[in-house]
Structure 1
Amino acid sequence: MKNIFRGFYSASQQELGNLWKDDKTLFVFDANVLLNLYGYALQTRNDFFKILKSIEGQIWIPYHAGLEYQKRRLEVIKNEKSIFSEIDRNLDKVQNVFKSDFEQLALKRRFPKLAENTERLEKEISRSIASYRKSVAHWNSEQPCVRSHDSIRDDLNSLFEGKVGEKPKSQEWLDNLYKEGAERFRNRIPPGFKDASKAKKEEDTHFFYDGLNYERQFGDLIIWKQIIQKSKEKDIASVIFVTDDAKDDWWYKIHSNGNKVIGPLAEIQAEIFGESDISAFHMYSTSMFMKDSESYLSVEVDENSIIDARASHSKPRHKYRADNLNQLRDSQNFIVNEYLKKHESSFGKLSEIMSQNRFPDDLEKFRNLEYMKNHLPTHFDEYKNLSNKASVEAYKYWLDKYNTIFDENNMSTYSDIIRKYENVGSPSEIQRLFDNLDASKNEESDEN
């Protein structure tokens, strides 16, 4: 049965291990795999090239994949470079919260102490942002720009020298493929039918190179046909195709506690098995390719490199980073605004309570502490956790403690203890103050 329906069977772990070790296995790379290299950290790129060098005699790219890489390379570099400008803009927005949103609250007039703490918070955030900008500048300097020397392309040129497929034989061959492709797309025959929308765009639907007219919507189909043609060569027993195209016209996916990628579509495997004599076909994303290379080739790959490649596979890398930055900015703005809304009335009520207290100077010490005078965090998550404790309910425990001191029998004991803690600066020290008070009361009770 398996021999008849080979398209529905994915390679087992043992079979994959054999494929990696077989000299007749051809490793084919899509254009997006090469282009994603420009968005990776240096360690990820180094690990990727280390893997390719270990299988250097078995790697290959279709002509059209190479052409798409060359055509899109500078645009990808520009997009990756632009992320650093976007980082700067988002950091500016965070800092502008203090210059716009906070100033409108008139904290200096309404809550002077809170205004002081806000200024300290602004300084802490500004220092963190300044430090972060330095790291951004470092990574920006590591990132290629459109006019700089492209060391990534140098490495690719060296590795794939003599390992690029032949260009299409003629315009007639391409035109016939376009007719076949139109029919395939109507019947949703993979791969490439998800790109049919590219034909509806008014611009950039096709391009010319070296005397041939290429229609962009059929790019995946051209690559696929070139892979099939290459797989017909006698010295090729199996094909492993590495692509970061995650669309449903390449991969079989099923929803089971989340989307699960099972493997290449049965139609794709059936087609290549039907037109060639290869014994196995498998597909990888870059992250899974790097992960399995560590297992089957004993090549050391940093775990962060696999995570880095996985992020790129899930969505375009510059878009992925921009989304994260926007989420961070929105989260920070939300936390700060919620803090102010939540405590605007609480601080007023607390001030009223404290104004009636018999020990205003000492209560001011607690007030400063609970405003987080000396404990402003450098990260918003910590800030949120602390601010959640700064409600009237949180003060109730300490105010109740103070009420016990008002008893005339405790006045002299309290006066002695409070002098020992003239510079109370943390909650733990405050706790020790009351523990000592309770201990003194217990001693007096024992003596009586």
Structure 2
Amino acid sequence: MPDPNDDLPLIRQYRDWLQSSTTEGAHGREQFFTEGLVVLDTNLLLNLYEYTPNARNQVLSALERVKERLWLPHQVGLEFVRNRHRVIATRVKSLNDAPNELNRKLREATKTIISASELVQGLLIKYAQDTESSESLRKEISDQSIKDLLDPWRNILIGHIQRLKNDHDLAISTVANGDPVLPQVAELFGERIATPPSPDVTRQRVEEAVSYRFPNKIPPGYMDAGKGSPLTSAGDFLLWEEIITHVAKLPDITHVLFVSGDQKDDWYEASGPGQARRPWPSLADELRERAAGELRIETPKEFFLGVKQYLDVEIAETTYEEIGRAAEAHVSTEITETRAGHFPPPSELATEAYIAAGLKTPYLREQLDSQDRRVFQWWLIGVTADLNRRQSSENERSVEIHAASRASESPGVGWVSGERLLLGEWPYRSSSWVASWFVQLIEKTPEIDRRTLQRLAAQQIDLHTQGR
């Protein structure tokens, strides 16, 4: 039964903010699935390359049920076709590297057990002069005895890794030579794809994002400020503007269902006391104000559960599990400049990156332990992995932090002209912007390491420019 208070102007105007979670507004959820425009974010499409063949087929079959109401923004289409290779390459690399990483961890376990045994051996001699028990313990807990114990477990783990390789049907060469997923996605959308915005429109939108929305933390996309070039960092906002502009031209569309695995703080409001995490109410306000549409944002798993509920589509529980795992992996691992301060990197990983970069001075070694240098620590971890200076582990967080950017305009607040760096050391002085944290670090770093850091930053720019 409708609440009579809903007609009061104050309550009606701020209804999105007054809901403590999206579930409170779920009474009209079915309409989004049966009548609304459905917009899929890039991460959902790229996840098709992560699924097993059976799960992928079930997901594509489910999407067939909303096929006539799907619409592909240009920004999503561009990111999808450009990043397919990267998704497969990342998975292939993780699975290929897994046996070596597994063996490394088992060697570390062996060293830890031997170290613990040596501790007890020392105590036996020091406090009991019991050399016989100490020697017996040394013989009983040896490298060979530990190997004999660990080998069966190693074989079990290697077997699981091999099964994962066998279950995944896509290789890197697949994308280059007849990608089987791409035509299925293309057929799904048909003619319902956006044409690219004009260069002038794109430029205006990027300028609005960088100069106004990002500094004022207006969702979406402000957490990507400074991520590569201004155009790259504005990707989420460009997508958002496409949605609003498209919906405004469709008088028959009153509901928009946006499906995305991106749950960063520039899409989702931080939860307060007694309040569940929810998409920013201001997003629903903006779509309603500018395009007269009602907005609902759901994660991939929520969306496919809704497809099953409202459109009677059968999806196996194992497929839901794959959908959830793929989405959670995207959310939980990425480190941006904004998030870096909240997640101290593993000290051994920062040290590994320091060595891999070829750094030498005690000053920078000290910065690896400083809470004020976490952005630098994560950047060093990320850039050494990106440039193949070291081998990243399977569970290592991905890092999206850039020390510098080549662009005609500043990527946002906290960036200064490349001319702040020394002539003869920085190759892009007149055509780049440098993160202020990087400048502050460089100014205090001895020359031998200063030049090394600048080379890494320049190589990162080159890598990004190549569109990898």
Q: Same fold (TM over 0.5)?
A: yes
Aligned residue runs from structure 1 range 15-34, under 5 A: 15-22=28-35, 25-34=36-45
Choose from 17, 25, 32 the match for 1:12.
25
Once the two structures are aligned, what percentage of the paired residues are identical? 21
**2:161 matched to 1:146?**
no
What is the aligned partner in structure 2 of residue 237 from structure 1? 254
Aligned residue runs from structure 1 range 35-434, under 5 A: 35-97=46-108, 110-111=135-136, 115=140, 122-141=147-166, 142-149=168-175, 150-168=179-197, 170-181=198-209, 182-198=211-227, 204-205=228-229, 215-232=231-248, 233-256=250-273, 260-262=276-278, 264-278=279-293, 280-316=294-330, 319=333
TM-superposition CA deviations, 1:76-115 (whole Å, max 9, x none) = 2211211113321222124435875667768999337973
CA distance in 2, matches of 1:98, 1:17: 52
Contact 2:261/2:331 (<8 A) preserved: no
CA distance in 1, matches of 2:139, 2:314: 53
Q: CA 1:276–1:94 in 2, change beyond 3 Å: closer, same or farther?
A: closer
Q: CA 1:179–1:117 in 2, change beyond 3 Å: closer, same or farther?
A: closer
Contact 1:193/1:249 (<8 A) preserved: yes
CA distance in 2, matches of 1:249, 1:103: 48
1:254 aligned counterpart, secondary structure: coil
TM-superposition CA deviations, 1:167-219 (whole Å, max 9, x none) = 10x21111111222221222222111111121xxxxx426xxxxxxxx11111
1:49 aligned counterpart, secondary structure: helix
Alignment-mate amino acid for residue 290 of structure 1: F
CA distance in 2, matches of 1:292, 1:121: 50
1:80 aligned counterpart, secondary structure: helix
Return the offset for 1:132: 3.1
Contact 2:260/2:300 (<8 A) preserved: yes
Return the offset for 1:64: 0.7
Return the offset for 1:144: 2.2
Return the offset for 1:260: 2.9
Contact 1:80/1:318 (<8 A) preserved: no
CA distance in 1, matches of 2:333, 2:290: 38
Contact 1:190/1:268 (<8 A) preserved: yes
TM-superposition CA deviations, 1:217-258 (whole Å, max 9, x none) = 11111100110122121232210000111112212231447x
Alignment-mate amino acid for residue 56 of structure 2: R
Structure 1 length as normaliser, TM-score? 0.60
CA distance in 2, matches of 1:98, 1:248: 38
Contact 1:244/1:286 (<8 A) preserved: yes
Q: CA 1:164–1:121 in 2, change beyond 3 Å: closer, same or farther?
A: same
Return the offset for 1:121: 5.9
Contact 2:55/2:322 (<8 A) preserved: yes
Structure 2 length as normaliser, TM-score? 0.58
1:240 aligned counterpart, secondary structure: strand
What is the aligned partner in structure 1 of residue 124 from structure 2? none
Q: How many residue pairs end up in the alignment? A: 304
Q: Which has the larger radius of gyration?
A: 1
CA distance in 2, matches of 1:318, 1:16: 27
CA distance in 1, matches of 2:113, 2:208: 63
Alignment-mate amino acid for residue 236 of structure 1: I
Q: CA 1:111–1:151 in 2, change beyond 3 Å: closer, same or farther?
A: farther
Pick which of 289-298 and 142-151 moved more: 142-151
Alignment-mate amino acid for residue 57 of structure 1: E
Return the offset for 1:33: 1.5
Contact 2:262/2:330 (<8 A) preserved: no
Q: CA 1:239–1:125 in 2, change beyond 3 Å: closer, same or farther?
A: same
Return the offset for 1:65: 0.8
Q: CA 1:6–1:260 in 2, change beyond 3 Å: closer, same or farther?
A: closer
CA distance in 1, matches of 2:103, 2:79: 36
What is the aligned partner in structure 1 of residue 432 from structure 2? none
Name whichever structure is richer in helix by fraction. 1
CA distance in 2, matches of 1:51, 1:188: 36
Q: CA 1:176–1:97 in 2, change beyond 3 Å: closer, same or farther?
A: closer
Pick which of 88-97 and 28-37 moved more: 88-97
Contact 1:38/1:80 (<8 A) preserved: no
Contact 1:36/1:317 (<8 A) preserved: no
Contact 2:32/2:296 (<8 A) preserved: no
Return the offset for 1:16: 0.5
Contact 1:98/1:122 (<8 A) preserved: no
1:167 aligned counterpart, secondary structure: coil
Higher-RCO chain (CA-CA 8 Å, sequence separation at least 6): 1
Cα RMSD, aligned residues only: 3.3
